[in-house]
Structure 1
Amino acid sequence: MNNKKLYTGFLSVTAALALAACGNKQQSSSSVQAPVEDGFKTEVVNEGTPISGGTLNMAQVSNSPFKGLFNPVLYIDSGDGAVVDMAYSSLFEYDANQKIDNSRGMADYKLDIENKTFTVHLKKGDYKWSDGQPLNIDDYIFTYEVISRKDYEGVRFSEDFLNVEGVEEFHEGKASSISGLEKIDDQTVKIHLKEVYPALELGGQAINALVIPKHIFKDMSYQDMITSDYSRTTVVGSGPFVIKNIVPGESVSFEKNPYYYKGQPKIDVKLDVVSSEQIVSELKAGHYDYVSGMPSDQYETFKDLDNISLLGLMTNSISYTGFNVGHFDAAKGEHVIDPSKKMNDVALRKAIAYAIDNDTIGKDTYHGLSVRANTLLSPFFKGVYVGKDVVPGFEYNPEKAKEILKEAGYKDVDGDGLVEDKEGKPLVINFLAAKGSETAEAVLQQYLTWWKEVGLNVQLLNGRTLDFQTYAEKLQKYADDFDMWTGGFTIGYNPSPDGLYGPKAAFNFGHFVEPKHTALLERISSNETFDENVKKQLFLEWQQYVQENPFAIPRFNTFELTAVNKRVKKINITPDKGTGWEEVELVADKGVASK
């Protein structure tokens, strides 16, 4: 199952995204790995002899506090996700092609295409939770059951799960267990599938990489789990660290998990939420050793700091502007188009897209570290992403935006410079956005100005940006008081769009459903794509479809920048060769300040 995370598209092109690091000169005290093809370094090795123990100070760059829901099957925003990643481990790890790597991780797998089974095997029989209790395949089966239960209201259940035999009956309350989860022994489960797809080998579709402790949550309802201390403060996990102390919304202190399957870490960690306005001064003072998600709009202020190395990778994230065109039918469990909604006019959506200049914002505001996105896929997915020479996206063209509006019947009836709708009535577009940095707020205001210049009256919902928690709640609960919003997704390793935009996808916040689109999504998720040529063709057709029928406007592809203080011995940030927490060491008692 894809581990998708939600973030707002305006937290410094974003607090949850992160940008960049290029042109960092090699320091005399460090050796830096040869650059990757994008020109960014991915590894640093600092001089010095490692000390015993110590606490690594890490910052989460965000202008909103933690929500405080630290459970891998419950959380939705990337701030909480950063804590979950420290306290829990995924069963699988992945290679450079984003496929499950059987040589790494807690578990390996075997896909039997002929018999339509996917076998998950825990490599050792002595895994333990952080409280010392055994971690076995019953926990994994239980996690499937929690996500598939009828009372589960989170975002991780989707129609993908229905591909497991018996999930539908279990979800509907017609069965007490999932018949397709065949326990072989305490380390092994054979998952019986209705169909097999290539995405299974990416940990996608019906395959769950998450595991939560059955002995903790077995008697809890969904709502009990939401409010339980075990999901918020007294977290029992499988990751490298255990939560020691929490300052609500502000910081989390971690201590070593003695039962971590890769070996007990050598350090403790303190994770703080730090605003984008404060992070550079804090970094300069040596207060933080490891910061991912450095704000690209401030790149010039930290790119030459002599106490850090900057590492960078293209993210698997996408930021976008979405449109509310329908509603969620809870009885049917699917999204439904509302033809009467104002944003259901593709001409209006295209005009909105052509009216904004993301090329200039990326170049001038984000120093080229954010690049205008042309599709709803990141170049991270090299095998299926299509470049601007084939799918151009929406370049700034205000005259074209005006022409589209005019041809579609949107005219300025009263001469105030703003167009009315096709019936001559006032057209007001309510825009949902989360509060971000000063730069992000300025970009947002520039968007409003550009839209006004082509005659569109776009107003912030309730006249202001919202805190992230309120913003995320409106999306997750499918509020109906806004017409469009800005947001983003961290996609995971499976690029299939069905889990984000499908007719039953929890993340389909705009409720867009259309037969041709649904058919494309189904084919992309089908076993047709075992043929790489078919896979590439279908992804091409999908990206072309979104160009012609934009239910969301791609905004930016970004590079995540990670700042590493000279106090840290070695860090590699690549997904397949990244430094594990059990390997991290410090070479000084405190962080090195910039001279």
Structure 2
Amino acid sequence: MSASRFGFRRRRGNRGASSPRLTSRPGSRVLLAGVVGALLIVSGCGSDDGGDSGESGSEGDGAAENTGGTFSVGTDEPDHLTPHRMTGAFNEVDALFSGLVEFGDGTEPKNLHAESIESDDNIVWTITLKDGWTWHNGEPVVAEDYVDAWNATAYGPNGWANNAQLSNIEGYDELNPQDGEPEQDTLSGLEVIDDRQFQVTLKSADSQFPYKLKLPGFYALPAVAFEDPDAFDEAPIGNGPFRMDGTWEHDVQISMVRYEDYRGPQPNADGVIFKIYSDQETAYTDAVAGQVDIVSVPQTRFQQVEQDFGDRFISFQAVRLDWVGFPLWDERFQDKRLRQAISMAIDRDEINEAIFAGIYEPATSLHGANVGGGGTEGLCGEYCEFNPERANELLAESGWTDSTLELWYPGGVGYDQTFEAIANQVRQNLDAIDEVQLQTQPGFPAFIEALEEHSATGMFRGGWGSLYPTMQNQLTEVWSSMGSGRAGAGSYENPDVDALIQQADAASTLDEANELYKQAEALIMDDFPGVPLFYATYNFAHSENVSNVIVGFDEIELTDVVVNS
């Protein structure tokens, strides 16, 4: 496939030429993920070999002790291995590619390939790269690799899944016109300064931009990726801690080996194999038997996981919320007292113990404690407390007359127990409700389509796992009129919420931004468009074959894993 089909011309300069070493501008103050007045700077404090990039496991200087061995991770069949195209292969991509920043188990971005990320106004950002980083084919990773990858992702006709992640960069609208083909093929807000520095101009101020740089749409790609993108997707050449060992064996496995010239924290292991499973249950059973080393634990196994794995079970509180949504396009659901009544008819503690073995935390707002700037627990007040008597009073006040409710959710993905329990509680605790009918669709695509097309005729499953740990992500993507995840909000809109989010995005300090995001969330909770259920978690278990398994906002910290001899 030619480069011209990807909407831009790949510039071919002397990519191997060295560039002058860049330093901070005179007079600028350099902080790690800090904000000083209107100046937001994310800057590494360590050496160029990755010494600033770890809080857990391999903290060192990019040359951790190689304990050797190969470990395995159970995974679904990915859709893609190219970061900008994939929607679910986060661990595989983090093995092959390194972005500008990382999170680990902290809530602030730490520089990985970036040396500094600077802005005076939260609109124009200058990104400087650490020197010496290379692709797995030995070519240097340069600023042009970021700019070209972002252009390809933003170019609408390419249809790359993470296109919308770049929507606030100047020129995005021209690359994604509502009608017809775009007349432009590059983002006007991107400029290469030299091999180690480029500039990004946003359409509007964004105080959270450094956090977003962990999103897969903001990774770089080597020149070879644009020669034949589909062939590249089968055996990507990345810049991460592991490189491909052969090609992707579909429905079988993806094998990778340690990249010896990696400039970030070196992996402890020699290699990793992602074993592909068609269902999580089989992967879990194999992990119990020691046939696969690390797996995501399905909800159906929460009651037995500690018995099966003991302290080899890891539960990490991510920025993630499960809720019950409502079809607000349906007049029957417009009165918020109905929605509050349903909330108060649900005993979250009972469901958490009976189904989730107490692993989840019942939600009292849209964000738990583990979010940058602190969460907003307790906003829901009495409406997230189990109180059938008050629930029946609210239901009567709402004027609801139907004796039947519907509860929609995606089938075949392990949610049956949860929604059967919710349906039973609503039916048992609301006197006027004789039946709650479960409506399942065949998987997520059909379920999301029912929400987007407004064909769902009852309350429904809502869920959002933020890809970076700030309040901006869920508030913008789900509850604002600007988001891409609005299906889960049931068509909820409030212009005052939009305005507060936009003010937070433009804030000059993170503290100011967080306060405005919290005000927006308070407005949403007052409108009560959804019933908060649980602050959900990332749940993994591992065999006795490995140790030092750490889970954080980036999911499995693959470089830390030690293969036991």
Counterpart residue number, 1:168: 173
Distance 2:494 2:471 in 1: 20
**Greater relative CO, 1 or 2 (CA 8 Å, sep 6+):** 1
C-alpha distance 97-356 of structure 1, shift in aligned 2 (>3 A): same
Distance apart, 1:205 and its partner CA: 11
Counterpart residue number, 2:325: 322
Q: Is the 8 Å Cα contact of residues 106 and 553 (structure 2) preserved in structure 1?
A: no
Q: Structure 1 residue 266 and structure 2 residue 267: aligned?
A: no
C-alpha distance 259-56 of structure 1, shift in aligned 2 (>3 A): same
Q: Is the 8 Å Cα contact of residues 104 and 552 (structure 2) preserved in structure 1?
A: no
In structure 2, what residue type is equivalent to 1:550? F
Distance apart, 1:585 and its partner CA: 3.8
Q: Is the 8 Å Cα contact of residues 568 and 586 (structure 1) preserved in structure 2?
A: yes
Counterpart residue number, 1:72: 83
SS in 2 for 1:563: strand
C-alpha distance 436-192 of structure 1, shift in aligned 2 (>3 A): closer
Distance 2:556 2:353 in 1: 32
- Superposition pairs for residues 253-332 of structure 1, below 5 Å? 253-257=255-259, 260-262=262-264, 266-273=270-277, 275-278=279-282, 281-291=285-295, 293-295=296-298, 298-305=301-308, 309-325=312-328
Q: Identity across aligned pairs (percent)?
A: 19
Counterpart residue number, 2:237: 236
C-alpha distance 121-277 of structure 1, shift in aligned 2 (>3 A): same
Distance 2:556 2:416 in 1: 35
Q: Structure 1 residue 495 and structure 2 residue 504: aligned?
A: no
Distance apart, 1:248 and its partner CA: 4.0
Counterpart residue number, 1:39: none
* Match for residue 106 of structure 1 among 109, 113, 122: 113
* Match for residue 127 of structure 1 among 134, 156, 173: 134
- Superposition pairs for residues 124-273 of structure 1, below 5 Å? 124-128=131-135, 130-151=136-157, 153=159, 156-158=162-164, 161=166, 163-172=168-177, 173-203=182-212, 209-217=218-226, 228-231=230-233, 233-239=234-240, 240-242=242-244, 244=246, 246=248, 248-249=250-251, 251-257=253-259, 260-262=262-264, 266-273=270-277
Distance apart, 1:99 and its partner CA: 2.8
C-alpha distance 296-67 of structure 1, shift in aligned 2 (>3 A): closer
Q: Is the 8 Å Cα contact of residues 427 and 436 (structure 2) preserved in structure 1?
A: yes
* Match for residue 352 of structure 2 among 348, 358, 362: 362
In structure 2, what residue type is equivalent to 1:401? A
Distance 2:204 2:66 in 1: 52
Counterpart residue number, 2:408: 431
Distance 1:459 1:307 in 2: 38
Distance apart, 1:276 and its partner CA: 4.8
In structure 1, what residue type is equivalent to 2:239? S
Counterpart residue number, 1:384: 374
In structure 2, what residue type is equivalent to 1:323? F
Q: Is the 8 Å Cα contact of residues 310 and 562 (structure 1) preserved in structure 2?
A: yes
CA deviations on 1:451-478 (whole Å, 9 max, x unpaired) are 33434554333xx452345446666xx3
C-alpha distance 581-299 of structure 1, shift in aligned 2 (>3 A): closer
C-alpha distance 274-587 of structure 1, shift in aligned 2 (>3 A): farther
SS in 2 for 1:460: strand
C-alpha distance 502-155 of structure 1, shift in aligned 2 (>3 A): farther
- Superposition pairs for residues 26-65 of structure 1, below 5 Å? 53-60=68-75, 65=76
Q: Is the 8 Å Cα contact of residues 296 and 367 (structure 1) preserved in structure 2?
A: no
Distance 2:74 2:327 in 1: 34
Distance apart, 1:362 and its partner CA: 0.9
Distance 1:430 1:284 in 2: 34
Distance 1:458 1:346 in 2: 19
SS in 1 for 2:384: coil
Q: Is the 8 Å Cα contact of residues 375 and 393 (structure 1) preserved in structure 2?
A: no
In structure 2, what residue type is equivalent to 1:201? P
In structure 2, what residue type is equivalent to 1:467? G
Q: Is the 8 Å Cα contact of residues 92 and 209 (structure 1) preserved in structure 2?
A: no
Distance 1:316 1:365 in 2: 21
SS in 2 for 1:537: helix
* Match for residue 508 of structure 1 among 486, 490, 505: 486
Distance apart, 1:557 and its partner CA: 1.4
Distance apart, 1:278 and its partner CA: 4.3
Counterpart residue number, 1:87: 96
SS in 1 for 2:411: coil
C-alpha distance 563-110 of structure 1, shift in aligned 2 (>3 A): same
Distance 1:514 1:202 in 2: 25
- Superposition pairs for residues 373-412 of structure 1, below 5 Å? 373-381=363-371, 383-388=373-378, 391=381, 394-411=384-401
C-alpha distance 257-299 of structure 1, shift in aligned 2 (>3 A): same
Q: Is the 8 Å Cα contact of residues 57 and 289 (structure 1) preserved in structure 2?
A: yes
Counterpart residue number, 1:526: 506
Q: Is the 8 Å Cα contact of residues 266 and 585 (structure 1) preserved in structure 2?
A: no
SS in 2 for 1:527: coil
Q: How high is the TM-score relative to the length of structure 2?
A: 0.74
Counterpart residue number, 1:443: 418
SS in 2 for 1:540: helix
Distance apart, 1:344 and its partner CA: 4.0
C-alpha distance 85-306 of structure 1, shift in aligned 2 (>3 A): closer
C-alpha distance 277-234 of structure 1, shift in aligned 2 (>3 A): closer
Counterpart residue number, 2:455: 481
Counterpart residue number, 2:52: none
C-alpha distance 513-206 of structure 1, shift in aligned 2 (>3 A): farther
C-alpha distance 100-70 of structure 1, shift in aligned 2 (>3 A): same
C-alpha distance 57-360 of structure 1, shift in aligned 2 (>3 A): same
In structure 2, what residue type is equivalent to 1:151? P
Gap regions ≥5 residues in structure 2? 1-55, 59-64
Distance 2:271 2:186 in 1: 41
In structure 2, what residue type is equivalent to 1:90? G
Q: Is the 8 Å Cα contact of residues 372 and 555 (structure 1) preserved in structure 2?
A: yes
Q: Is the 8 Å Cα contact of residues 364 and 377 (structure 2) preserved in structure 1?
A: yes
Distance apart, 1:502 and its partner CA: 2.5
CA deviations on 1:529-572 (whole Å, 9 max, x unpaired) are x162x444323323322322122322211343433333325334
Distance apart, 1:185 and its partner CA: 0.7
Distance 1:394 1:307 in 2: 32
In structure 2, what residue type is equivalent to 1:203? K
Distance 1:140 1:154 in 2: 16
Distance 1:182 1:275 in 2: 44
CA deviations on 1:478-512 (whole Å, 9 max, x unpaired) are 34322443142221223212133332311111332
CA deviations on 1:22-71 (whole Å, 9 max, x unpaired) are xxxxxxxxxxxxxxxxxxxx879xxxxx99753312224xxxx5353333
Q: How many residues align?
A: 488
Q: Tell which deviates more after alignment, 181-190 or 558-567.
A: 558-567
SS in 2 for 1:431: strand
CA deviations on 1:412-443 (whole Å, 9 max, x unpaired) are 5xxxxx15xxxxxxxx5461323233xx4222
Gap regions ≥5 residues in structure 1? 1-41, 45-49, 220-224, 326-337, 413-417, 420-427, 589-595
Distance 2:215 2:225 in 1: 24
In structure 2, what residue type is equivalent to 1:235? P
